[in-house]
């Protein structure tokens, strides 16, 4: 069994994100499904991850590909049935894998029965279940809030002659969490899936549940807009400080209620997605105290910056804000941002494989729970699709300055010689299989002991026998232009454990002076073929894209 038997398995457990539409098609319709996931569970077990996270598979009109839910308690027919889901959970547990599923609490589809009833009149039983507001005297929206997908966050509704709030598409109305009945309904939906055996939830944009009840305007940003992969900088959304449209204080009490529900199901967990003006501080707040979210992730490592000083600063800021209970989930790719193999470019890089091995070793060494996006273990690159092939409404609207999220969502490649690379036998797949991915197919890499996939397996196995990397504290060593170095330390073990970790995030050989009281007597051998450093007195010398580990 890959999964630790302790109830806090999630603390340091490795999560693998599955985007079901693009993972494996079992019924030849060109779209991945739940039976396809079952088919590939042995692959995930062999990889050595602890849990899988399934992006939405619920009934939906698919305007935002499942993040617009029309029925929180049923499976969309394109993915299968509830019986298929139950079979998936059972099979995953047999393979020693936990199952986390997406939950989108802050908004739903405009085709959900709740919204159909709410928009029918101002007096019905669910009239206050969504964020409705009257227009200003001149008929304009009630405030200046912007949608992440561009334009006003308010949509006029002719039935109620009011505006409703939508932080995303107009077809994704925001629920009104100021109404206690909405909170009860959201928690009841979580309980439905917990009773079916899920091991936890990834909570989509969980800091968006509450909005300012006074509907105050957001202030403008006074500083220059910095690229934020969670919010494309070509939209006006990035020009505001988001003081009132999300991350409201009332959310903390709701998260405490959510955690109390999870505590009724020992061994379950929550991963919150948080996009905020200060995401690291918000993660610390939402995971601190041990009474809200178990862990959360943001977008600080999902942008283009990957230099040693930047990563050092991200960790430093988070550790300064978080308490002992707080916990991050570190992801380098997901379904919303360009793939890390393309996004993180190392100046002067010659050996791309060495670079990808290094950043995975780094990801597994940070204090937190790593999350691997499907295909990262194969080194898949971001795909550039022609406009006519796009499916993502964000990209279609923002073309050509922003090409959307389809480039990281193309089908996974299993067998480079099979039709559609083994993903589907359909004549046409929902997004095209990328020709550039065919040489990276899983079947070929599984046969090659020097492949990136082989390294992922070896690195995950190497980490599993070093519990200090799963639960230990982190002590950053001095910042450097090229080297990120820290010590993972666990004083709760007998004897206490300490592991030096150092990574050369450059394409040149470098030297790094270790503090006098942090010099090991010898280095541990990392999994082959990760280039290893060497000691010259108190100085650590690292080859390009090299790493060093040492027990202290």
List 123, 138, 264, 517, catalytic entry: 264
CA-closest candidate to residue 308, choices 136, 501, 488: 501
List 76, 102, 199, 204, catalytic entry: 204
> At which residue do the structure tokens 């550790």 appear?
319
Long-range CB contact pairs, 223-231, < 8 A, 24+: 227/303, 227/304, 228/275, 228/299, 228/303, 229/299, 229/302, 229/303, 229/304, 229/336, 229/337, 229/338, 230/275, 230/279, 230/298, 230/299, 230/302, 230/336, 230/337, 231/148, 231/275
What is the spatial distance between Cα 146 and Cα 167, in angstroms, rounded to a whole number? Answer: 7
Asked if 172 and 67 touch (Cβ cutoff 8 Å), the reply is yes
CA-closest candidate to residue 201, choices 257, 255, 252, 262: 262
Q: Would you call 184 a catalytic residue per the annotation? A: no
Q: Name, in order, each residue with C-beta under 8 angstroms of 536's C-beta and a sequence gap of 6 or more.
A: 511
CA-closest candidate to residue 477, choices 397, 415, 548: 548
Give the DSSP letter of residue 539.
E
DSSP structure string for 80-109? --HHHHHHHHHHHHHTT-EEEEEE--SB--
For residue 498, CA distances in Å to 1, 299, 314 come to 26, 29, 22
Q: How far, rounded to the nearest angstrom, does the alpha carbon of residue 267 sit from its chain's CA centroid?
A: 20
Q: Which helix (H) or strand (E) holds 504?
A: strand 497-504
CA-closest candidate to residue 61, choices 82, 80, 36, 78: 78
What is the spatial distance between Cα 457 and Cα 478, in angstroms, rounded to a whole number? Answer: 31
CA-closest candidate to residue 325, choices 363, 368, 358, 362: 368
For residue 98, CA distances in Å to 249, 489, 535 come to 32, 27, 40
> At which residue do the structure tokens 């602890």 appear?
50
DSSP structure string for 336-397? TS--HHHHS--TT---HHHHHHHHHHHHHHSSSEEEEETTGGGTPPPP---GGG---HHHHH
Q: Would you call 46 a catalytic residue per the annotation? A: no
Residues taking part in catalysis = 204, 264
């Amino acid at each position: 069994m890959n999964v630790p038997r302790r109830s806090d398995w999630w603390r340091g457990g490795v999560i693998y994100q599955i985007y079901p539409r693009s993972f494996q098609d079992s019924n030849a319709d060109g779209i991945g499904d739940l039976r396809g996931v079952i088919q590939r569970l042995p692959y995930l077990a062999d990889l050595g991850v602890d849990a899988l996270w399934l992006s939405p598979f619920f009934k939906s009109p698919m305007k935002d590909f499942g993040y617009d839910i029309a029925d929180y308690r049923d499976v969309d027919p394109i993915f299968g049935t509830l019986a298929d889901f139950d079979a998936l959970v059972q099979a995953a547990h047999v393979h020693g894998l936990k199952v986390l599923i997406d939950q989108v609490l802050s908004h739903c589809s405009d085709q959900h029965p709740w919204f159909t009833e709410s928009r029918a009149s101002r007096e019905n039983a669910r009239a206050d279940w969504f964020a409705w507001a009257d227009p200003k005297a001149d008929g304009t929206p009630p405030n200046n809030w912007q949608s992440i997908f561009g334009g006003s966050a308010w949509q006029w509704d002719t039935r109620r002659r009011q505006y409703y709030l939508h932080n995303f598409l107009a077809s994704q109305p925001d629920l009104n969490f100021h109404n206690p009945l909405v909170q009860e309904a959201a928690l009841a939906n979580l309980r439905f899936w917990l009773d079916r055996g899920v091991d936890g939830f990834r909570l989509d944009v969980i800091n968006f549940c509450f909005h300012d009840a006074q509907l105050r305007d957001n202030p403008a940003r006074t500083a220059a807009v910095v690229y934020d992969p969670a919010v494309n900088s070509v939209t006006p959304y990035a020009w505001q400080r988001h003081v009132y449209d999300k991350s409201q204080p009332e959310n903390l009490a709701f998260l405490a209620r959510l955690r109390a529900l999870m505590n009724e199901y020992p061994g379950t967990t929550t991963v919150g997605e948080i996009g905020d003006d200060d995401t690291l501080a918000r993660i610390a707040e939402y995971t601190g105290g041990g009474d809200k979210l178990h862990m959360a992730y943001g977008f600080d490592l999902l942008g283009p910056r990957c230099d040693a000083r930047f990563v050092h600063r991200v960790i430093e800021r988070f550790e300064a804000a978080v308490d002992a209970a707080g916990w991050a989930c570190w992801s380098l790719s997901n379904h919303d941002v360009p793939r890390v193999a393309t996004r993180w470019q190392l100046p002067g890089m010659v050996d791309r494989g060495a670079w990808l091995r290094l950043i995975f070793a780094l990801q597994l060494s940070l204090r937190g729970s790593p999350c691997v996006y499907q295909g990262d273990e194969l080194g898949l690159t971001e795909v550039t699709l022609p406009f006519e092939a796009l499916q993502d409404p964000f990209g279609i609207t923002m073309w050509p300055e922003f090409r959307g999220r389809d480039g990281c969502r193309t089908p996974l490649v299993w067998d480079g010689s099979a039709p559609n690379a083994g993903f589907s036998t359909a004549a046409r797949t929902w997004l095209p299989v990328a020709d550039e991915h065919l040489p990276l197919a899983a079947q070929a890499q599984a046969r090659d002991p020097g492949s990136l996939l082989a390294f992922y397996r070896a690195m995950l196995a190497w980490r599993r026998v070093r519990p200090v990397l799963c639960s230990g504290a982190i002590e950053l060593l001095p910042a450097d232009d090229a080297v990120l170095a820290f010590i993972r330390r666990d004083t709760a073990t007998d004897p206490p454990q300490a592991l030096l970790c150092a990574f050369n995030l450059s394409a040149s050989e470098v030297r790094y002076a270790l503090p006098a009281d942090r010099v090991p007597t010898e280095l541990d051998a990392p999994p082959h073929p990760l280039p290893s450093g060497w000691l010259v007195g108190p100085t650590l010398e690292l080859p390009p894209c090299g790493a060093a580990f040492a027990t202290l």
